[in-house]
Structure 1
């Protein structure tokens, strides 16, 4: 527990309620017919049980306000004379709702009984309390075979489980018989891992018994946030996940709520669950990413190889070109963007920059002075390249400068060139080509924007921020060079700056990054950035050193950068699409003309909080 934190009493929903501690109200109704719209209640009987013992009963006849059909009288024995002096449902229902308040509602064929009760609430303008409902018919279908009982009717099940009460179509008698049936069913389902109230939600689902029994793997797990690791027979990590409540999340894997085929296969292999308790949800999310990258569990589909994500950089040679790489050295960090989700996205971004700057696309390394034997390629003949391979020219240096600007915070040239091309192609109804230019532009802007946003905190030697914690007090975050280095929660009323000093002293030591991607993966940096950018975050300390970011501005965004232009471009395209000017394309970006040139947008600070103590 963080310094100054106060103990918190956990609710039953957080720790799980054993069935032996749960309160059940078993209810049965008699009615004038089968439909709540056309029929009315004639009798309510209910039994309240806890820990296998009866703690209360509720029984009353109800005047339905209409005649009881003879067939119903023959079935139930309730006559018109018996209900003439009985109270109306308006008098009975509030008393029953009070009797069943806070309990789990149980009925045999619950759809019938609950349907009448809800309809009565609607007629009286009473709010339906929305209790947890258990249907003994559904449970019986799960654990009682045809060999044991010819059907799942109440009378048949009562005989099977040796009920001391024989059902006779009277409400209280049938409710008492249903209590015995419920206890018999729960006794059987305990062997399937149904031991807590939370298990009842999916107890009737078709989950293999071997899998449901593995719910015991969740026993003893913490109830706070953290990371869980499913382990195989050899102790190898099969799957890593994160949870707000570790015990509750892990238990959910052993119910029908989990429908993923691969995960079901993983659960069948798992023999243990290893928890990693965390102070906050953010810490859990970060540690999940790191664990996936470390263990590379076979059943996790994402983030297993973040180091393989591609970047786009400008090469160091007399006539630079764009190259797709997996690592960017420190000296080239200011001339690279990324990482990209795939190589195909990186290739789209390269095409956008090349189209705007005219950089060469050949891959050979060219000398400063052309070789006498060199010959130009077809691109030079088409006028698409100034051919520095065969002639000396100052034009190529200017093109390289524009490309460098596009990779270091000035996206306006690429945006203007791409939009002009899209307008021209759309006017000639060449929409497929226009869509291709659109996709190239979006791929470039997204990667450039990500790079700009990440660079600010990657350059910070130390950053401490605070947010109000849901349980009171403050949640504190420590970053060093963009890497999560620690977190703490100060209790309500505790001296915050004391916790800040403790966090700074105990946080992870992080060395300055050498090149891209930096001290942390892009996914981790994005996680903490989203936390920082949420309204209400306060900046406690920011140390960017003597040089700040690559641009020397500290934590800031470039005025003409992709972070400023991308939102405006998307808003403009969406607006024109809604007006019918453009046709929508993939990713919500239209394939028609965007019109106009990008407006200059004043860059906002990367955090909304004010510097100072939290």
Structure 2
């Protein structure tokens, strides 16, 4: 039996070989939105040795408050010749490049640095961050340290530099605190940066102990499944590197409460390797729909979509249904909720005088007309005012809007919106706009999926950065096979083999795809990716001209307005902090 050397990605990066940059700031106040940086101090260390130091005063645009000047000793006179943050920040970022950032009470210092980057239009680097304050709270007992202030920890660990509320002195003291904490944790088997990051998190010891479950998962693209003691699926996810992604569930980077709860009850994780990222995305959707894991929020019930249907009768009307049948009529959908389906139906009723009553009508038995006929919203076929032939013009308009050009409905609803806006009835106009946007969005998606589902077979390829091609066989909107050709090899034999072994897919009922709607959308997104080439198309892949896609600006404008109407960020997903 031969031993195998684990990669850094598998075993973690050793602390002794990690370069840390310990940073401390002095500022004019406590809020990045109202205060500015006045001093940056940093120390670069690796393996216990100091590699370099960085220190600079920073001239703010505001005067230093008196109490801050007393606390830090930094005065306006000292800052008169100091560089602005626009000059100091790039120098610091270059000093810290490729290192793990460490700070005491990191949210404060990193918050100011992030705000400065945003102000200057500089992207914040993708760096790992350690907080010695949080780490100390996990390592030290209350009877040993009554608080976790830097001065307290510096005294406990015998720091060579006393904190003085000056950036470089405080950074030097934080270095000694960091080394003291690492020394303590060495007795607990913490030897890598990943394990050190894990210790500063709020993950419970029971959850932390399950990190070994990730070692069972391949470091390859695919789908991973968390299961409980009885083998029931708890959560299904996908990743380009399953082992790396699964490890994150046991570290501080995972902040979702539901995932923390899921990991607590998980007993095993298995990974299913996939040839391509599209195959992983599709397999994830299929497994979620089949297994219905309780910790997956989306895609669990693809069969619950709502469709808008033209009924099959002499005087058809619009109806909400759960299933598409092979009855030769027009369908639009699926909608994610009944509410959105009703909104789209209301947009059609606003533009086309198709009947809204639900009773069955016969041209041979006239009935009394309802109030909608008096309002001009219906041609009153129930009373004999419209014959079957005359009424069919409204039905054809709806059918055309579903399968082709919805221009008639769009124009009429827009006229109604403009009329309401001229009368300053803006809220009603916004309601009509949102209904129209819902209808157009559904028509665009339905037509795109129906066009793909009509193609018997489509073979597409995309060149990989590492060489070779990723190959997909798509039949009636369902992924039938996926594979990758070897770098430098002729991809045609791979395509032939893939087509020969691809899944047999039956022709679906229009406008359905052979797979789920979400699977068809994932395939369409991949086909829209730059660099994708069509190797073979068996059938006609086309959209009507014009189609609903010609009115995509309506959806874009509605989404923009909805976003602008929300003055506060959605913070419901944030976890409370002490």
Same fold flag (TM > 0.5)? yes
Aligned with residue 17 of structure 1, among 12, 15, 30: 12
Partner of 2:68: none
Aligned with residue 556 of structure 1, among 542, 550, 559: 542
SS in 2 for 1:386: coil
SS in 2 for 1:389: helix
SS in 1 for 2:319: strand
Are 2:455 and 2:477, in contact at CA under 8 Å, matched by a contact in 1? yes
Partner of 1:484: 479
Partner of 1:409: 404
Alignment of 1:377 onto 2:370:
yes
Q: Using the TM superposition, give the Cα deviation of residue 132 of structure 1 relative to its aligned residue in structure 2, in angstroms.
A: 5.5
| Matched pairs, number | 498
Q: Distance in 1 between matches of 2:39 and 2:564?
A: 50
Alignment of 1:512 onto 2:512:
no
Q: Distance in 2 between matches of 1:226 and 1:515?
A: 31
Q: Distance in 2 between matches of 1:444 and 1:28?
A: 53
Are 1:225 and 1:278, in contact at CA under 8 Å, matched by a contact in 2? yes
Q: Using the TM superposition, give the Cα deviation of residue 181 of structure 1 relative to its aligned residue in structure 2, in angstroms.
A: 3.2
SS in 2 for 1:276: strand
Partner of 1:231: 227
Q: Distance in 2 between matches of 1:272 and 1:235?
A: 8
Q: Distance in 2 between matches of 1:430 and 1:102?
A: 57
Instruction: Give the alignment's TM-score, normalised by structure 1.
Output: 0.69
Partner of 2:439: 444
Render the CA deviation track for 1:266-324: whole Å, top value 9, x for unaligned: 12111111212212221111111111111111111111111110111211111111111
Partner of 2:259: 263
Q: Distance in 1 between matches of 2:126 and 2:316?
A: 67
Render the CA deviation track for 1:569-597: whole Å, top value 9, x for unaligned: 457x68xx9xxxxxx843679xxxxxxxx
Unaligned runs of 5+ in 1: 1-8, 30-35, 63-96, 115-127, 545-553, 578-583, 590-614
Are 1:474 and 1:491, in contact at CA under 8 Å, matched by a contact in 2? yes
Whichever of the two has the greater Rg, that structure is 1
Q: Which moved more, 1:234-243 or 1:203-212?
A: 203-212
Aligned with residue 493 of structure 2, among 489, 498, 509: 498
- Map 1:191-210 → 2, pairs under 5 A: 196-210=192-206
Q: Distance in 1 between matches of 2:107 and 2:394?
A: 73
Render the CA deviation track for 1:346-379: whole Å, top value 9, x for unaligned: 1111122222221101112222x2326x332222
Q: Using the TM superposition, give the Cα deviation of residue 176 of structure 1 relative to its aligned residue in structure 2, in angstroms.
A: 11
Are 1:229 and 1:241, in contact at CA under 8 Å, matched by a contact in 2? yes
Partner of 1:457: 452
Are 1:154 and 1:167, in contact at CA under 8 Å, matched by a contact in 2? no
Partner of 1:430: 425
- Map 1:348-363 → 2, pairs under 5 A: 348-363=343-358
Distance 1:136 1:327, change over 3 A: closer
Q: Distance in 2 between matches of 1:414 and 1:59?
A: 69
Q: Using the TM superposition, give the Cα deviation of residue 538 of structure 1 relative to its aligned residue in structure 2, in angstroms.
A: 0.7
Alignment of 1:275 onto 2:271:
yes
Partner of 1:346: 341
Distance 1:149 1:528, change over 3 A: same
Render the CA deviation track for 1:387-426: whole Å, top value 9, x for unaligned: 2223152321221121221122121111111111112222
Render the CA deviation track for 1:185-216: whole Å, top value 9, x for unaligned: 333554xxx56423433531232222222222
Distance 1:158 1:511, change over 3 A: same
Distance 1:325 1:357, change over 3 A: same
SS in 2 for 1:332: coil
Are 1:107 and 1:178, in contact at CA under 8 Å, matched by a contact in 2? no
Aligned with residue 381 of structure 2, among 357, 382, 388: 388
Are 2:18 and 2:193, in contact at CA under 8 Å, matched by a contact in 1? no
Q: Which moved more, 1:255-264 or 1:293-302?
A: 255-264
Render the CA deviation track for 1:97-151: whole Å, top value 9, x for unaligned: 999997768899999999xxxxxxxxxxxxx999766565653331221335677
Q: Distance in 1 between matches of 2:377 and 2:160?
A: 92
Are 2:16 and 2:46, in contact at CA under 8 Å, matched by a contact in 1? no
Alignment of 1:144 onto 2:120:
no
Partner of 1:300: 296
Alignment of 1:323 onto 2:309:
no
Q: Distance in 2 between matches of 1:177 and 1:502?
A: 62
Render the CA deviation track for 1:425-453: whole Å, top value 9, x for unaligned: 22222222222221221111111111111
Q: Using the TM superposition, give the Cα deviation of residue 332 of structure 1 relative to its aligned residue in structure 2, in angstroms.
A: 3.0
Distance 1:360 1:57, change over 3 A: closer
Aligned with residue 208 of structure 2, among 209, 212, 220: 212
Q: Distance in 1 between matches of 2:51 and 2:439?
A: 70
Q: Distance in 2 between matches of 1:531 and 1:254?
A: 31
